[in-house]
Structure 1
Amino acid sequence: MSQPNILLLGPPGAGKGTQSGNIAEEYGVDHVTTGDALRGNKGMDISDLDVAYDTPGEFMDAGELVPDAVVNEIVKTALNEADGYVLDGYPRNLDQAQYLGDITDLDVVALLEVPREELVERLTGRRVCDDCGTNYHVEFDQPDEAGVCDECGGELVQREDDTEETVRDRLSVFDENTQPVIDHYDEQGELVRIDGEGTPDEVWSALGAAIEATL
């Protein structure tokens, strides 16, 4: 078969970025995220979509939420240009899931499952270099010198959206918007559930085995 098309679902903090990177390397496919796709297509002409602006970048520059119609078009373009992919961060709601089903065929739909309190611990403990953006964790991935980035010597900070109140709000939003997406794939018999609570290597072992069993 050609390169696989894989959808990776999971709440914030579940490790989708890490495991998507493993999938991309193992199968030689593109790692497609909505954030990267939006940044890479800021100047796309969307004047035919009957939305407030003519490019995605104008929504982003105005600090406004990019409408589903625009996100859909950008994801469609990214997937069409990919020779196999792992899709991470989309679909976020049932309408997007139904649109995705119209534009592509998925070979694997995997869900990383992690208990709520573990997610809170992971996200609130994250620290990011203020200069180069490298991620660390106060418990799981500490720098050589406390508060200092190993890569560039920059200061490590906690992002505003990694405080406990904000993290719990983000997880609640995920539950509200994305649980219907999970139910959608589950009801279709496509969903593969992966225990995401172990180490990254343990999770990859389980995820890789599940992908191989599905392809």
Structure 2
Amino acid sequence: MDHPRILIMGAPGAGKGTQSANITDAFDVEHVTTGDALRSNDDMDISDLGLEYDTPRAYMDRGELVPDEVVNAIVEKALADAAGFVLDGYPRNMDQASELEDMTELDVVLSLEVSEDELIDRLTGRRVCADCGANYHVDFDPPETDGVCDECGGDLIQRDDDTEETVTDRLRVYHENTEPVIEYYAEQGRLERIDGEQTADAVWDDIRETIERAA
């Protein structure tokens, strides 16, 4: 399949970013995420949407949630500019899923399946260098010296959004808003479930075979 159009879904910590990078390299497609798309189009003119502000930046600078109408418009532009893509982080709810149906036809819909206990372990164990931003994990990828960055010697910290309370709340929001989207694709017979608790290499083997099978 030349330049496939792929949607990858999964809870926070499921490994979407790692596997999306593999997909972009192997299949020569763009990695489209809502965060990157928003940052790349923060001055996009959205005055025709009839919202409070005329650019995405106005919402972001005020720390306000960017409305779905803006996210939809930016994702549509990003997908239109891409010959092929792996879409990561969108749609997050059924309204966005409905919008995506009008934007493009998907070749493959992937869901990385990981248990909640495993997700919590992955996310709460993450540590980040306060100086250079390098990432570690207390179990899966620890630094040579506990609490010290291998790259620059800076202190490793746990980010506020990686505490167990915050992680649990993020997963609750995911279950409420995004799981129905996964079931929507499953009911259509379009969903490919991938065991996300395997090694990263084994997960990638399954993903690559699934995409190639759809060609």
Q: TM-score, normalised by structure 2?
A: 0.97
Structure 1 residue aligned with 2:141: 141
Amino acid at match of 2:68: D
Give the percent of matched residue pairs that are identical in Structure 1 and Structure 2.
65
How far the C-alpha of 1:71 sits from its partner, in A, is: 0.2
Structure 2 residue aligned with 1:92: 92
How many residue pairs get aligned? The number is 215
Q: Distance in 2 between matches of 1:5 and 1:41?
A: 21
Structure 1's consecutive aligned runs of 4 or more residues displaced over 6 angstroms after TM superposition are none
Deviations 1:88-142 (A, max 9, x none): 0000000101110101110000000001100000000001122232211000011
How far the C-alpha of 1:23 sits from its partner, in A, is: 0.3
Structure 1 residue aligned with 2:150: 150
Deviations 1:149-195 (A, max 9, x none): 22333321111011011111100100000011011111111100000
Structure 2 residue aligned with 1:178: 178
Structure 1 residue aligned with 2:67: 67
Range 200-209 or range 111-120, more displaced: 200-209
Q: Distance in 2 between matches of 1:184 and 1:82?
A: 25
Unaligned runs of 5+ in 2: none
Range 94-103 or range 143-152, more displaced: 143-152
Q: Secondary structure at the match of 1:193?
A: strand
Amino acid at match of 1:34: T
Q: Secondary structure at the match of 2:178?
A: helix
1:196-207 matched pairs, under 5 angstroms:
196-207=196-207
Amino acid at match of 1:75: V
> Is structure 2 residue 23 aligned with structure 1 residue 23?
yes
Deviations 1:63-106 (A, max 9, x none): 10000000000101111111200000000000101110101110
Q: Distance in 1 between matches of 2:101 and 2:68?
A: 15
How far the C-alpha of 1:207 sits from its partner, in A, is: 1.3
Aligned-pair Cα RMSD in Å: 1.0
Structure 2 residue aligned with 1:37: 37
